[in-house]
Structure 1
């Protein structure tokens, strides 16, 4: 199935709320950022020596059974470097060899956000309750952010290159085999109960037989430069950078409106319960870091995972 696509010229705040936000349905808004192109040269000029944690995924992880993973998303091992250094790795081919990725990095206090105009996206859609700053995502074509869901509504703004997204509605929670809550007891927030244990494009049907039911509710969308995708809370999505070269996006999370949609979302509550289960692990790591004089770094890592 295809996600609805609407031109920004014909979109009103009332239409967006009634047809998509209130109903909790995804939609692509075309033309909202049609004059914005954050290519690598532009990013280097704007960010230069600003430092970011660069995740080192490594291609071998995608050959593993996800049930054997001990880290995912923002908990993947990372190395802090300047954006200029990262850009050199993108250009040299090293970033591709190691599947290096800049993900979920705030640009709130950088020159980039000061002249971006990205705040206009929320204003035009009538989104009034941001719960995060704008987060930058930069990597090469071929990188995949594996199937997961978020506990807040999100806007994904495509600023250079294209991405392919596979989505499933919240109703398919258990047909997508999320990691069990008990995984947090062993791994804390390094493993997330909001991530799927399967690969949607190459599923092991013997291990995950109910995934066949989820396929009846599968959506796919190609997000091109200038497009904005509204992803309601608890919608599953897998994101793959496609085409050639560097691909850049920015996302932001928003409070769920109307509130009733948040209150009746079991997926949202389930993810919060997972964080509670991880709490003893978090405290233990914080105490260990404090005694070793690494409390600041530990706090930074924790905030990234949240």
Structure 2
């Protein structure tokens, strides 16, 4: 597995983006107040997020600790290995704070929520200057989790605001090697690979070896950004007891 290319400026990031080449840009959004608060600790981060909260309900996925963070199907494909729970942001943050004290905590994961709808005003504080204002950021948060390999049909800047995340990416054209699951029943709206990247069963999925030969990976920390071109497959592993991601999707 190869390392994803790296750069250290917004100009370099945009040069890679213009060529459709994935890249990790270190410390590009470290000036965001959200990133600064996350580095100061949970109380300040919590207070900062709640200052933008308008009380809309968030939906979380909750999976037992036995699933080791992997949000996926049940073994017989009859459904999913997680439940869904609705609540407000203050409740979600209380849960995350409590789970951080557990040695074998269940997975708690809140997927994409548009910031201008759920935390209005925060979108002005989480910007990438080269993107037009019409490209609205979304926020993701939770504890340690694994989102199965999938792709998006949009360009993507994903920015780590709290915790750390490991991204493993595969180029387009690897569909056969990734062993895609059912299209009519997906964990979060996109078709996913049936291979567990953390412990791949190469006996059951032998062609996955070919995908691994083309795979690239990198671990991102607060302030880092990854650019993933549309169509690239990606597996995302959140590594800490609290992880927050802000991402931007747009069409070229």
State the TM-score bracket (shorter-chain normalisation). Answer: 0.7 to 0.9
Q: Show the counterpart of 1:80.
A: 86
Q: Show the counterpart of 1:149.
A: 151
| CA shift in 2, pair 1:115/1:192, >3 Å | closer
Q: Show the counterpart of 2:61.
A: 55
| CA shift in 2, pair 1:223/1:71, >3 Å | farther
Q: Show the counterpart of 1:43.
A: 49
Alignment of 1:211-222 (within 5 A): 211-222=208-219
- Confirm whether residue 109 of structure 1 aligns to residue 117 of structure 2: yes
Unpaired stretches in structure 1, ≥5 consecutive residues:
258-306
Q: Could you say what secondary structure the match of 2:211 adopts?
A: helix
CA distance in 2, matches of 1:129, 1:72: 34
- Confirm whether residue 33 of structure 1 aligns to residue 20 of structure 2: no
Deviation at 1:171, TM superposition (A): 2.4
- Confirm whether residue 158 of structure 1 aligns to residue 166 of structure 2: no
| CA shift in 2, pair 1:172/1:54, >3 Å | same
CA distance in 1, matches of 2:196, 2:62: 20
Higher strand share: 2
* Stretches of 4+ aligned residues off by more than 6 angstroms: 63-67
Indicate conservation of the 8 Å contact 1:72/1:192, yes or no: no
Q: Show the counterpart of 1:173.
A: 175
Q: Deviation digits for residues 3-41 of structure 1, max 9, x if unmatched?
A: 11111265374xx2xx4343x321112232112225332
Deviation at 1:61, TM superposition (A): 4.4
Q: Deviation digits for residues 151-185 of structure 1, max 9, x if unmatched?
A: 1111101111211111111122211111244xx1x
CA distance in 1, matches of 2:222, 2:142: 15
Q: Alignment length, in residue pairs?
A: 237
Unpaired stretches in structure 2, ≥5 consecutive residues:
39-44
Greater C-alpha radius of gyration: 1
Deviation at 1:214, TM superposition (A): 1.2
Q: Show the counterpart of 2:246.
A: 250
Q: Show the counterpart of 2:198.
A: 201
Alignment of 1:91-110 (within 5 A): 91-93=97-99, 97-110=105-118
Q: Deviation digits for residues 208-228 of structure 1, max 9, x if unmatched?
A: 110111111111111111111
Deviation at 1:46, TM superposition (A): 2.9
Deviation at 1:49, TM superposition (A): 3.6
| CA shift in 2, pair 1:71/1:226, >3 Å | farther
Q: Could you say what secondary structure the match of 2:6 adopts?
A: strand
CA distance in 1, matches of 2:217, 2:13: 24
Q: CA RMSD in A?
A: 3.0
Q: Deviation digits for residues 255-288 of structure 1, max 9, x if unmatched?
A: 0x3xxxxxxxxxxxxxxxxxxxxxxxxxxxxxxx
| CA shift in 2, pair 1:45/1:127, >3 Å | closer
Q: Show the counterpart of 2:8.
A: 7
Deviation at 1:113, TM superposition (A): 3.8
Indicate conservation of the 8 Å contact 1:178/1:193, yes or no: no
Indicate conservation of the 8 Å contact 2:50/2:90, yes or no: yes
Q: Show the counterpart of 1:135.
A: 138
Indicate conservation of the 8 Å contact 1:21/1:232, yes or no: no
**1:210 aligned residue (207, 210, 224):** 207
